[in-house]
Amino acid sequence: MDIDLNLKRGVNLGGWLSQYKIFDHHHFNTFIQEEDISRIASWGMDHVRLPVDYPVLEEALPDNTYKVSGFKYLDRCLSWCQKYGLDLLIDLHKAPGYAFGKWEKASLFNDGEHRQRFLQIWSGLAHHYNGMKNIGFELLNEIRLPDSSPWDQLVRETISVIHEIDTHRPIMVGGDHYNSPDQLQYLDVYEDNRIFYTFHYYFPMVVTHQRAYWVPPLKNITQEVEYPGSYPGIDAFGEDVIGKNMDRDFLKTFLQPAIDFMQSTGKKLYCGEFGVIDQAPMDTRIHWTSDMISLFTELSIGWALWSYKAMDFGLVDLKGDLVNERLLNTIRK
């Protein structure tokens, strides 16, 4: 990627400053340490994607207003990334009035206060990192709206706010339906080399999210779903593909909208999340991940695996111990 941002091979730092169980500074100070960033660099990665929730950045004031602060954890991560030669993509994972998975309660797009706080967060980040290299901003994680036009409008406003302060800052934008590849076609395309486009890839869900406790149709299935293999007869997902062979070509069919987007716009793409849950057989995790990285390499799509530590998808467990050497070897350079 251009503008001093290298996003070819990376990993997410999920569970640290986002999706934490409680707002706990001890957790923020201990979950990710310098040795974790050093280890990620030693694996041949060139960047980390850092999800962060708005309470980490915002401070509530007595008069019921907010000020943007709380950058110390981001600054610490940036200093480690600079030391070990990694770029940093800051992803606003949860915003005032919006959290992925709770889209039906979203107020960000029609509540003036939440909208202003959203713009204020990005204004604060733009001021704080103004002129610094090797940092990108991802505006919001996995939106879900009946109509994405309110998101398109907010994207335009936010880009304008950021670039008025920090002229050269790379900005990442994803589409509707949880950053689905088939929603890229509906995004406004900017003839601006500072704007990049992202999607997430967790297809087929019966493989990547088998037995996931937060996915009702899959949490109680008793069978192990293997990849490669035949698509199982689970009616909640993909009735039209039951019995079809799941292999690299099968995965590529779900990528076709991303391929079409690149061909029609001339824009490169970045897959900010992909991975297989730890409930799946290890051979399935390895084979699926290997095929996805092969496809990304073929198509020149940068990527960040979900996720580095724990979070049901981790390469290492909560103690920091490697989950599986073969799984690691599928991603390392």
Q: Is 55 helix (H, G, I), strand (E, B) or coil?
A: helix
pLDDT higher than 50, residue 1: no
Mean pLDDT, rounded, for 259-266: 97
pLDDT higher than 80, residue 128: yes
What is the per-residue pLDDT across 304-313, written as a single tens digit (0 to 9) for each?
999 999 999 9
- Cβ-based neighbours of 38, under 8 Å, separated by 6 or more: 80, 84
pTM: 0.96
Residue 1's nearest CA partner among 240, 171, 249 is 171
The DSSP secondary-structure symbol of 17 reads: B
**More confident position, 159 or 238:** 159
C-alpha to C-alpha distance for 47 and 135, rounded to whole angstroms: 10
Reduce the secondary structure of 101-166 to three states and give it as a string: CCHHHCCCCCCHHHHHHHHHHHHHHHHHCCCCCCEEEECCCCCCCCCCHHHHHHHHHHHHHHHHHC
Domain boundaries, given as residue ranges, for the chain: 9-204+248-331
Residue 30 host element (H or E): helix 25-30
pLDDT higher than 90, residue 243: no
The answer to whether residues 292 and 299 touch, using CB atoms and an 8 Å cutoff, is: no
Residue 63: what are its φ and ψ, rounded to 5°?
A: -90, 20
C-alpha to C-alpha distance for 52 and 13, rounded to whole angstroms: 9
What is the reported pLDDT for 239? Answer: 62
What is the reported pLDDT for 233? Answer: 84
Residue 194's nearest CA partner among 173, 174, 171, 175 is 171
C-alpha to C-alpha distance for 95 and 66, rounded to whole angstroms: 13
What is the reported pLDDT for 51? Answer: 98
What is the reported pLDDT for 67? Answer: 82
Just list the catalytic residues. 142, 273
**More confident position, 294 or 66:** 294
Q: Is 329 helix (H, G, I), strand (E, B) or coil?
A: helix
In angstroms, how far is CA 114 from the centroid of its own chain?
22
% of the chain at pLDDT higher than 70: 97
What is the reported pLDDT for 2? Answer: 45
What is the reported pLDDT for 228? Answer: 98
CATH 3.20.20.80 fits 9-204+248-331, yes or no: yes
Tell me which residue has tokens 């297809």: 203
What is the per-residue pLDDT across 101-127, written as a single tens digit (0 to 9) for each?
776 678 999 899 999 999 999 999 999
C-alpha to C-alpha distance for 230 and 242, rounded to whole angstroms: 8
C-alpha to C-alpha distance for 172 and 194, rounded to whole angstroms: 9
**Confidence category of residue 234, pLDDT binned at 50, 70, 90:** confident
What is the per-residue pLDDT across 15-59, written as a single tens digit (0 to 9) for each?
999 999 999 999 999 999 999 999 999 999 999 999 999 999 998
CB atoms closer than 10 angstroms to residue 149:
13
What is the reported pLDDT for 104? Answer: 67
C-alpha to C-alpha distance for 38 and 24, rounded to whole angstroms: 24
C-alpha to C-alpha distance for 294 and 228, rounded to whole angstroms: 15
Q: How large is the greatest C-alpha to C-alpha distance in the chain, in angstroms?
A: 60
Mean pLDDT of the chain: 94
What is the per-residue pLDDT across 169-219, written as a single tens digit (0 to 9) for each?
999 999 999 999 999 999 999 999 999 999 999 999 999 999 999 998 899
What is the reported pLDDT for 296? Answer: 98
